[in-house]
Amino acid sequence: MDEIEMLVTSQMTHTDKEEPIGAAEVLEFIPINLKGRRKASIAGVRVTDGTLVMDAKYRIVRDGHVVAEDLSLESMKHFQDKISESAKGQECGIQFTDDDAAFKAGDVIQAYRMIKVRPKLLR
């Protein structure tokens, strides 16, 4: 029976499920000028839950409403040092690849991953 179940579920379409990784509060908005007159916005954040990692997806939540999602990070720094993750209680600066991602002090930045979930058969 297990072999049949494995065969059937292997043919079924996997579903995507969101896995929360971490969250941070935006403490301040830091505008910076880059080369070529390009401007960027850095969010100075404190990690309040879990971990922020470079390869995660991000969303910005303001007053309980999502204002931007499916964002990726351009960079993450602790002072001048590039870092790949920041754990609960730590502060860092993050820059999104989308320069139009609008955030302000008090916003919540949520980090998540999308994982593939294999469907299960009901018995």
Instruction: Please say if the pLDDT value at position 1 is more than 80.
Output: no
% of the chain surpassing 90 pLDDT: 63
Give the H or E element holding residue 6.
helix 2-11
Q: What pLDDT, in 10s, does the model give residues 2-43?
A: 777 667 666 667 788 899 999 999 999 988 887 776 778 899
Task: Sketch the domain layout of the chain as residue ranges.
Answer: 2-117
Q: What pLDDT, in 10s, does the model give residues 38-92?
A: 778 899 999 999 999 999 999 999 999 999 999 999 999 999 999 999 999 999 9
Distance in angstroms (rounded) separating the CA atoms of residues 26 and 75: 16
For residue 54, the tally of other CB atoms under 10 A from its CB is 16
CATH class of 2-117: mainly beta
Instruction: Between 84 and 123, name the one with better pLDDT.
Output: 84
Instruction: Tell me 36's DSSP state.
Output: G
Entry pTM: 0.81
Q: Are 91 and 43 in contact (CB under 8 A)?
A: no
* Amino acid at the residue 64: G
Distance in angstroms (rounded) separating the CA atoms of residues 2 and 104: 52
